[in-house]
Amino acid sequence: MRVLAAMSGGVDSAVAAARAVDAGHDVVGVHMALSRTPAQERTGSRGCCSIEDASDARRAADVLGIPYYVWDMSERFEATVVADFLREYAAGRTPNPCVRCNEHVKFAALLDKALALGFDAVCTGHYARVVEGADGVRELHRAADAAKDQSYVLAVMGPARLARAIFPLGDVASKSQVRAEAVARGLSVAAKPDSYDICFVADGDTSGFLRRALGEQPGEIVDEAGAVLGTHDGAYAYTVGQRRGLALGRPAPDGRPRYVLSVEPVQRRVVVGPAQALDVAHVRGDAAVWFTGVPADGAACTVQVRAHGADLPARVVCADDTSVTVDVAGAGLRGVAPGQSLVLYDGSRVVGQATVASTRAAADLADAGAGGHA
């Protein structure tokens, strides 16, 4: 099988490519240049797509004895990931750029180009497993290493893309095993630190990045009753559940911390309140992607709303081809923001994914019940 190996310059993608070679595939390595300023250097484990990363990927390909190319995908990345990131924050939502990158770049632009060139599949260093069911349908499952599992950010790819994807690291027990394998193979990236945070915000200052791109948009920070507690330079710099950085001059009457409850960009207003007001009972998601059909109303599942968040028990309230609502009452889910990715699981298997559109607070349901309403 002809396989295109996406090589970021890190240890995971290098070992994944090596395993694809060992499996007998005809492998070609490709580094995606996503940054419009590729001359920038990484700062520790921050940043991406630097000349250093491209060089590391090339050296790994040389060790493996496979052809290697650099493909410029910076325009696509800027238009679909960075622009979406800015647009979502400006709208008071909290996007996940890794999900959008997998959706629009790695398993859309890259895969489409690979197929057009005659490749059969794309291989990446993601930690997830592909399991073929008894009916021959490929299923996306959590990785063997729960600490590194990336099925959450891959769930947006859908079944058609999954059919053309290879994840050789899905069965490894730990990241240390991958690094040891890299050493044994003579790969110089064996000890290279993992990248983290938002790859295109190399200095880690997301608020500063948003301010430079969107400009200052001063407004008020208010409590649930509308009383003004402070001011801000841009509501886009806040997200639901945030506690730090509020700089409020007036403490809460009970002395407890306040958290961001909602962001209202049109009014340029940030609403804050107590932690219990963040408790969520229902989550509704749009733009749903299903792997093995729409789940039945009332079906039991587990859900995850953050890349490294807990896997929580839930029940499907209603679902169709484009949306889903889940009941998470009693699961301890708190602080869910519109724009986050909602992923449904059946055990380790990914059932589907949707983008959070709205939530309903546990307190609202309690009040409705007390008033005799459903």
**Active site positions, annotated:** 101, 199
Cβ proximity of 335 and 241 under 8 Å? yes
Q: Is 335 helix (H, G, I), strand (E, B) or coil?
A: coil
Cβ neighbours, 10 Å, residue 175: 16
What are the distances in angstroms from CA 212 to CA 8, 197, 208, 269, 300? 27, 18, 6, 20, 44
Q: Residue 87 is encoded by which pair of tokens?
A: 């647009």
What size, in residues, is the chain? 374
Q: Residue 25 is encoded by which pair of tokens?
A: 């595939």
DSSP strands (E only) in 239-290: 259-264, 269-273, 280-290
Cβ proximity of 15 and 169 under 8 Å? yes
- Name the one residue in this structure whose structure tokens are 């509020």: 246
The H or E element containing residue 300 is strand 300-304
Largest CA distance in the chain: 70
Q: Which of 140, 154, 4 is nearest to 67 (CA)?
A: 4
What crossing angle do the helices spanning 11-22 and 175-184 adopt, rounded to 10°?
Answer: 70
